[in-house]
Structure 1
Amino acid sequence: MSGHGSVAVIMEPVTEPRPRRRMSGSERREQLIRISRTLFAEKGFDGTSIEEIAATAQVSKPVVYEHFGGKEGVYAVVVDREMQKLLTMITEALAASHSLIKVERAALALLQYIEESSEGFRILVRDSHAASGTGTFASLISEIASQVEDVLADEFAARGYDPKSAPMYAQMLVGMVALTGQWWLEVRKPGREEVAAHLVNLAWNGLRGLNPQPAISAVTRARDTAPPKPRPSSEKELRELEKARERELKEAEKVRQRELKEAEKARVRELKERERLLKEAEKAREREDKIRQREAKLAERAARLEQVDQSE
C-alpha cells in the first residue's frame, strides 16, 4: 500500500429488476376476454379494433389471433358467455312453484343481471352483431320466451284459456321486460325491486286491474336477499323442500288474493269517484237549466212590458 491516502470503494451489489411473471395460456385468454368485454361495451363491435385489444393487454396482435382467430372470435366468446349467464339466471328464477313468483323472480333476475353485468347487457343490446355466432339479442329474447311459454301454457290451461296463445303472450311479456331493462340500464331509478314490482303489476293484473301501490311479495324478497341453499341430498331434505314449496304457494296465493282485493277496492273507489263527478255534473246542468229558465222568464216579462209601453 502506498503512502498516499487511498479511498476504499465499496461496490454495492447490482439488483436487476425481477422479470414479470409470464401468464399461462388460460390466464392470457381470460385477460383478453375481460379487456375485449370492456371495449365492446364502451365502443361497440365496429368501434373496437384488434390493435386496441392488443395494446390494452400489452401484447402483440398475433397473440390475440392465436387465441381467437380475430376480433370476431373474441366477440363471439364474450357474447356467448353473457347469454349463458343471463339464461341461467332466468332459468333458475322460473323454477319457482307458483306462476306469480316465477314472473316476479324472472323480472328481478333480468334487472339483477343488468345491475351486476352492465357491460355485458350493453353488448347484447347494442350490437347484436352476426359475428357472435350465437345469434342476436332478439334470438336471446326468443330463447327466454320459449321457457316462459311453458309457464304461461300451464297457467292458461288452469284458467280455461287456450294454451295455443301462450307463445304469443310469452313474446309480449319477455319483450316488455327486456325493453324496460334497456331503459333502466341508463336511468337506474327507481330501484330494482320497485321496477320489478311495477312490471309484474302490469303483467299480472293488466291495465284494468292495476294495483295502485305494487310491491314484490315477501316470498320473492326473502329469496332475493338470502344466500343460495345447497341442493337436497336426502329424502328428508326433499320432503322439507316440498313443504317449503307448499308454504310458498300458499303465501303467493295470499298475496295474490290481497292484491286482487286491493285492486277491487281501487276499482270501487274509482267508480264512486265517477258517480260523484257525474252527480256534480248533473247538478251543474240543473243549475244551468234553472238559470236559463229564469233568464227566459225575465226576457219574456221584459218583452211584455215593452209591448205594454208601446201600446200606451
Structure 2
Amino acid sequence: MSRAEREQQILGVAEEVFAARGYQATSMDDIARRVGLSKPMLYEYFGSKEGLLLACLERVRRELLECTSAAAANAVGPEQQLHDGLLAFFRFGEEHKQSWALLRTESAVVRAGLDTELEGFRTQQAEFTEQMLRVTLPNTDPARLEAFAEAIIGACERMALWRENRPEITPERVTEHLMALIWPSLSAEVAAAERVHTTSHDQG
C-alpha cells in the first residue's frame, strides 16, 4: 500500500472512531490498533491526535465543496442553481452521516487549530455561495452578496441541526422549506438586475 493510500485508510478509520467516541475519548492507540499500525507510525503520518483530526476535517471539507460545486455546475438558471446547491449540501449530510457527526461533535472542542478548521468550512461554503450569486447579480454591492451568502450558510447549518430531531424531513423537503424562505427575496434581486440590464441595453 502506498503512503497516500495508507493515509486515506487511516483517515477513514479515524473519522469513524472520532465520530463514534468524540475527540476527547479517542486515543491514538484505538486508531492504530484498528488500522494495524504502531502508534509511533501513526504519529509519523500526522504528528499528533489533533493533526489527525484536522486532516479528517480537511478531507470532509474538500468532499463537501466538490459535491456542492458539481451540483451547481449542472444546474440551469439561478433558481435551480441555488436549489441544487442546497440539496447537495443536505444530501451530503444524509449520505455522510459519519462526516457530519464528526463536524457536529468536534464543534464543541475548544482548540485554536480546530476552531480555525471548522470556521474554514463556513468560509468555504459562504464564498462558494457568494460566487454563485455574483454570476447572477454581477452589479450588486459585494457587501450585500456577502451578507446574503453568510445568511444562507447560517440557515443551512441550523436546518441541518433541526433535521437531526426530525428524521422524517428528507433532504428534498428541507431544501423546499429553505427555498421558500430565500428565493422570494433573491428572485426580486434577480428581476431588478434584469430590468436594469434591459433598460441599459435599450438605451444603448
TM-score band w.r.t. shorter chain:
0.7 to 0.9
2:97 aligned with 1:118? yes
Instruction: Report the Cα offset of residue 151 of structure 1.
Output: 2.9
Task: Find the partner of 1:148 among 118, 126, 129.
Answer: 129
Task: Find the partner of 1:167 among 137, 142, 146.
Answer: 146
> In structure 1, the residue corresponding to 2:23 is in which secondary structure?
helix
Question: Which residue pairs with 1:92 in the alignment?
Answer: 70
Q: Give the Cα separation in 2 of the matches to 1:94 and 1:66.
A: 39
Tell me the amino acid that sits aligned with residue 146 of structure 1: E
Instruction: Report the Cα offset of residue 173 of structure 1.
Output: 1.0
Instruction: Report the Cα offset of residue 123 of structure 1.
Output: 1.5
Q: Output one character per residue of 1:138-167: Cα deviation in whole Å (capped at 9) or x when no partner.
A: 331122111211333454457xx6454111
Contact 1:72 1:131 in 2 (8 A): no
Contact 2:58 2:117 in 1 (8 A): no
Contact 2:57 2:117 in 1 (8 A): no
Change (3 A) 1:133 1:176: closer
**Taking every aligned residue pair, what percent have the same amino acid on both sides?**
27
Larger Rg: 1
Question: Which residue pairs with 1:239 in the alignment?
Answer: none
Tell me the amino acid that sits aligned with residue 129 of structure 2: V
Q: Give the Cα separation in 2 of the matches to 1:137 and 1:131.
A: 10
The 5 A counterparts of 1:221-240 are: none
Question: Which residue pairs with 2:189 in the alignment?
Answer: none
Instruction: Report the Cα offset of residue 110 of structure 1.
Output: 0.6
> In structure 2, the residue corresponding to 1:175 is in which secondary structure?
helix
2:194 aligned with 1:201? no
Contact 1:125 1:137 in 2 (8 A): no
Task: Find the partner of 1:83 among 45, 50, 61.
Answer: 61
Q: Output one character per residue of 1:227-263: Cα deviation in whole Å (capped at 9) or x when no partner.
A: xxxxxxxxxxxxxxxxxxxxxxxxxxxxxxxxxxxxx
Q: Give the Cα separation in 2 of the matches to 1:120 and 1:77.
A: 12
Q: Give the Cα separation in 2 of the matches to 1:195 and 1:40.
A: 27
Deviates more, 1:93-102 or 1:192-201: 93-102
Aligned length: 183
Higher relative contact order (CA 8 A, sep 6+): 2
Question: Which residue pairs with 2:43 in the alignment?
Answer: 65
TM-score by length of 2: 0.76
- Which structure has more helix as a fraction of its residues? 2
Tell me the amino acid that sits aligned with residue 91 of structure 2: Q
2:91 aligned with 1:108? no
Tell me the amino acid that sits aligned with residue 139 of structure 1: G
Q: Give the Cα separation in 2 of the matches to 1:132 and 1:66.
A: 19
Question: Which residue pairs with 2:119 in the alignment?
Answer: 138
Contact 1:75 1:131 in 2 (8 A): no
Question: Which residue pairs with 2:8 in the alignment?
Answer: 30
Instruction: Report the Cα offset of residue 53 of structure 1.
Output: 1.3
Instruction: Report the Cα offset of residue 135 of structure 1.
Output: 2.9
Structure 1 unaligned spans of 5+: 1-22, 207-312
Tell me the amino acid that sits aligned with residue 30 of structure 2: E
- For the aligned residue pairs, the C-alpha RMSD in angstroms reads 2.7
Q: Give the Cα separation in 2 of the matches to 1:157 and 1:26.
A: 41
> In structure 2, the residue corresponding to 1:136 is in which secondary structure?
helix
Q: Give the Cα separation in 2 of the matches to 1:79 and 1:97.
A: 31
Q: Give the Cα separation in 2 of the matches to 1:147 and 1:27.
A: 29
Instruction: Report the Cα offset of residue 132 of structure 1.
Output: 5.4
Instruction: Report the Cα offset of residue 186 of structure 1.
Output: 4.8
Task: Find the partner of 2:29 among 43, 48, 51.
Answer: 51
TM-score by length of 1: 0.52
